[in-house]
Amino acid sequence: MKRTGRTTIVALVLGAIGTLALTGGAVAQDTSGTPATEQKVTLNVGVDSDVTSLNPYNLCCGPDYEYLSLVYDIAFDFDNETLAAAPRLVKTWTPNEDSTEWTMEIVSGATWHDGQPVTAEDVAFSFSLVADNGMPFYKDYLPFNPTFEVIDDTHVLWTAEEPTFAPNVPAYIPIVPEHIWGEFVTDDPVETKKAVKVFANDEPIGSGPFMLAEYEKGQFIRLEKNPDYWGGQPASIDEVVFTVFGNQETMTQALKAGEIDYAWGLKPGLFNSLEGEPNIATRAGDGGCWGNIAWNFGGQGPKATADPTIHDTAFRQAVSMSIDRQEIVDKVYQGTASTGYSILMPGSNGSWVTEIPEELQFNYDPAAANAMLDEAGYTDTDGDGIRNGIEGENLNLELLVISDVTGSVDTGKLLEGYLADVQIDSFQTTVDTNKAYDLWYTGEWDAYVWDWCPDPDPDFMLSVFTTDQCLGWSDGCYSNPEFDRLYELQQTQLDRADRKATIDEMQLMIAEEIPTMVLNYWSDLSAYRTDKFDPASWVPSPNNEVGLYLFGWTNDTYMNLRLVSDAPTETSSPGVPAWIWIAAVAAIVVIIGGVMMARRRGSEDEA
């Protein structure tokens, strides 16, 4: 319908100006968070390996810890700026004068997914379950024979036999409900540990921001948001689905097709191929991870098959000199990694890292490697072109490579050639992460190509090489009493400089003895779609230019991610007084003589 232009246009302009006058004229962000859709919002994440277990005491690898941190509350969180200890279910922790006692204050109002309240008794129970029974994946977070006493409804007293900084590591302990896990506790720690670890936990009850809704082994795991989460609700996400892909090529195609929103742990070639793809962004993050060749020293049990030659430090040093780290970085990681030597990372472990001197790097030098092997007595005694080991047999090492660990298989192929150049025979056994986890426990391998992504504080990574971690976190049951002594010493050193000096010595010891050979520090390669979720709402962890959006140290992305349609929009905020706007309009009307233009704020309509 046609109207008289002047009356209509003036009314529109004055109406718009009136709105500006009421709200102000400056542009601001509307963060009201009003949902633009009532449909269920799903974050679809692609992974190439399944969770190892739903039992928080049987975890192993990346997807396991993402599941753990979403379904369960960890006692302490990580500060997203510094990666220091931060509040989570434990909101404060206060030491006494000599740090032998820490009073932990628990948040109020938290509930388990089955509706029962989370209590101080649950927190004390969770800590005691680990400490009293030596649960291998967590026990070194709780040194010096600690006890945990409930003081009142919201406070637990942590008492250790020696001064300790353990809460500040932080102590990465999942809090579990005593009314479920208490039935496995007996007076015998061995029986308790066994009962806890064999529990399938098919219907996990945690207190975290998400709850298990559905799990198909080898296919997907679906988590729904916890409507009663004490820490608040996600900004947009109703559920998270981790879909397991048989290969990364399929996962990459699913990302391109919009079937998933995020593809995690990509191979360098696939990662690079996504550069410039419409509606897709890539991110090379620092996950604090390093690739390694770990040696098996045996001792896991009757099935262990380690070659006894591996116990000879000279043999391990010679093998190190046969391996071209730089070629692995160039060919396998295509420039997305750097050569490495220390078990601590320059990025996440930063200030704790010591420089490994050149004489302890055992860099690529095949001639020197051959000479060292000759000097150590590993010669070809029968003339078949293969050196003989300690017991006179041909050296033929089984290399365990892992199909869903980026770089493992391709590195293994190069290793076969390097070893052949120094007259050592080898063969590869290729398995997925779950099978590798089983073989790791039984010791049915000589060396494997895997990786580590340790905590920001060095305590955890150092603990891996202690004798007590055989059948726990230890790669291959390496044992050195002097290293064990130094590990316990650094746990008592409240003075940072003193602790740093001890940790430096431990790094040099591992570099020289090579129970594991650090190959490289690699980047976490991921890609994500930009047309479903607001790119500005992905939160890096830690909060820097190379922090991880997912599979990092915090749950911040899950809690803050917003749909593009829910992204903050431009609205008006206090600015120029209303009378000025009205006067300006009147002047324009007089000067132009009624010729007006109504301008559409396209940016708001599209938001």
Residue 449 backbone zone (phi > 0: left; psi -120 to 50: alpha; other: beta): beta
Low-confidence winner among 21-30, 44-53, 252-261 (lowest mean pLDDT):
21-30
Question: What whole-number distance in Å separates Cα of residue 459 and Cα of residue 476?
Answer: 19
> Is pLDDT at 21 greater than 80 in this prediction?
no
Q: Look at 63 and 152; give whichever has higher pLDDT.
A: 152
> Is pLDDT at 20 greater than 60 in this prediction?
no
Question: What whole-number distance in Å separates Cα of residue 75 and Cα of residue 73?
Answer: 6
What phi and psi values does residue 88 have, to the nearest 5 degrees? -140, -110
**pLDDT tens digits, 346-372:** 876 678 999 999 999 999 999 999 999
Determine, yes or no, domain membership for 274.
Answer: no
Low-confidence winner among 13-17, 301-305, 319-323, 518-522 (lowest mean pLDDT):
13-17
Do 301 and 413 fall within a single domain? yes
> Is pLDDT at 501 greater than 70 in this prediction?
yes
Which has the closest alpha carbon to 230: 362, 351, 91, 46? Answer: 91
Which has the closest alpha carbon to 406: 45, 43, 44, 47? Answer: 47
Q: How confident is the model at residue 137 (pLDDT cuts 50, 70, 90)?
A: confident
> Is pLDDT at 548 greater than 90 in this prediction?
yes
Q: Look at 516 and 606; give whichever has higher pLDDT.
A: 516
Label residues 182-211 b or e (16+ Cβ within 10 Å = b). eebbeeeeeebbebbeebebeebbbbbbbb
Q: How confident is the model at residue 384 (pLDDT cuts 50, 70, 90)?
A: very high
Determine, yes or no, domain membership for 304.
Answer: yes
Q: How confident is the model at residue 593 (pLDDT cuts 50, 70, 90)?
A: very low
Identify the bridge partners of residue 518 per DSSP, sorted by sequence position. 292
Do 252 and 371 fall within a single domain? no
Looking up residue 65, the CATH number of its domain turns out to be: 3.40.190.10
Strands 516-529, 280-295: pairing is antiparallel
What residue numbers bound the domain in which 474 lies? Answer: 289-523
- Given this model, what pLDDT does residue 570 score? 52
What is the percent of the chain with per-residue pLDDT over 70, rounded to a whole number?
87
- Given this model, what pLDDT does residue 136 score? 85
**pLDDT tens digits, 151-171:** 999 999 999 999 999 999 998
Determine, yes or no, domain membership for 374.
Answer: yes
Question: What whole-number distance in Å separates Cα of residue 446 and Cα of residue 493?
Answer: 36
Q: How confident is the model at residue 569 (pLDDT cuts 50, 70, 90)?
A: low
- Given this model, what pLDDT does residue 351 score? 86
Question: What whole-number distance in Å separates Cα of residue 171 and Cα of residue 160?
Answer: 14
Determine, yes or no, domain membership for 19.
Answer: yes
Do 83 and 189 fall within a single domain? yes
Q: How confident is the model at residue 577 (pLDDT cuts 50, 70, 90)?
A: very low
**pLDDT tens digits, 247-291:** 999 999 999 999 999 999 999 999 999 999 999 999 999 988 999
- Given this model, what pLDDT does residue 255 score? 98
Determine, yes or no, domain membership for 281.
Answer: no
Are 66 and 242 in contact, with CB atoms under 8 Å apart? yes
Question: What whole-number distance in Å separates Cα of residue 606 and Cα of residue 561?
Answer: 19
Do 498 and 581 fall within a single domain? no
Determine, yes or no, domain membership for 282.
Answer: no
For the chain, the domain total comes to 4
- Scanning the structure block, which residue is given the tokens 């430096």? 504
Do 398 and 541 fall within a single domain? no
* CA end-to-end distance (rounded Å), the chain: 29
Do 138 and 13 fall within a single domain? no
The tokens of 508 are what? Answer: 């040099």
User: CA separation (Å) from 154 to 93, 109, 150, 158?
Assistant: 12, 10, 8, 13
- Given this model, what pLDDT does residue 587 score? 42
pLDDT average, residue stretch 444-469: 94
- Scanning the structure block, which residue is given the tokens 């200030």? 351
**pLDDT tens digits, 385-420:** 999 998 899 999 999 999 989 999 999 999 999 999
- Given this model, what pLDDT does residue 8 score? 30
Do 66 and 78 fall within a single domain? no
Identify the bridge partners of residue 29 per DSSP, sorted by sequence position. 570
The residue among 523, 553, 584 that closes a domain is 523
Question: What whole-number distance in Å separates Cα of residue 126 and Cα of residue 206?
Answer: 12
Do 365 and 315 fall within a single domain? yes
Question: What whole-number distance in Å separates Cα of residue 549 and Cα of residue 284?
Answer: 10
Q: What's the whole-number average pLDDT of the chain?
A: 88
Do 43 and 109 fall within a single domain? no
Q: How confident is the model at residue 9 (pLDDT cuts 50, 70, 90)?
A: very low
> Is pLDDT at 23 greater than 90 in this prediction?
no
- Given this model, what pLDDT does residue 257 score? 97
Burial of 328 (0-12, 13-18, 19+ CB in 10 A): buried
Determine, yes or no, domain membership for 266.
Answer: no
- Given this model, what pLDDT does residue 414 score? 98
Do 78 and 180 fall within a single domain? yes
Q: How confident is the model at residue 494 (pLDDT cuts 50, 70, 90)?
A: very high
Helix ranges restricted to H, 103-256: 120-133, 178-181, 189-198, 248-256
Question: What whole-number distance in Å separates Cα of residue 125 and Cα of residue 70?
Answer: 20
Are 349 and 288 in contact, with CB atoms under 8 Å apart? yes
Are 120 and 183 in contact, with CB atoms under 8 Å apart? no
Identify the bridge partners of residue 348 per DSSP, sorted by sequence position. none
The residue among 466, 491, 523 that closes a domain is 523
Do 321 and 404 fall within a single domain? yes
> Is pLDDT at 337 greater than 70 in this prediction?
yes
> Is pLDDT at 603 greater than 60 in this prediction?
no
Using alpha carbons only, what angle is made at residue 449 by residues 446 and 452, rounded to the nearest 5 degrees? 120
Determine, yes or no, domain membership for 59.
Answer: yes
What phi and psi values does residue 309 have, to the nearest 5 degrees? -60, -25
Do 496 and 599 fall within a single domain? no
User: CA separation (Å) from 57 to 194, 197, 222, 585?
Assistant: 11, 6, 20, 70
Is the bond leading into 56 cis (omega within 30 degrees of zero)? no
Are 395 and 425 in contact, with CB atoms under 8 Å apart? yes
Helices 120-133, 189-198: inter-axial angle, 10-degree rounding = 110
Q: Within a 10 A sphere around the Cβ of 114, how many other Cβ atoms?
A: 12
Looking up residue 436, the CATH number of its domain turns out to be: 3.10.105.10
Looking up residue 171, the CATH number of its domain turns out to be: 3.90.76.10
Question: What whole-number distance in Å separates Cα of residue 439 and Cα of residue 445?
Answer: 7
Question: What whole-number distance in Å separates Cα of residue 178 and Cα of residue 172?
Answer: 18
- Given this model, what pLDDT does residue 287 score? 83
What is the percent of the chain with per-residue pLDDT over 90, rounded to a whole number?
80
- Given this model, what pLDDT does residue 67 score? 96
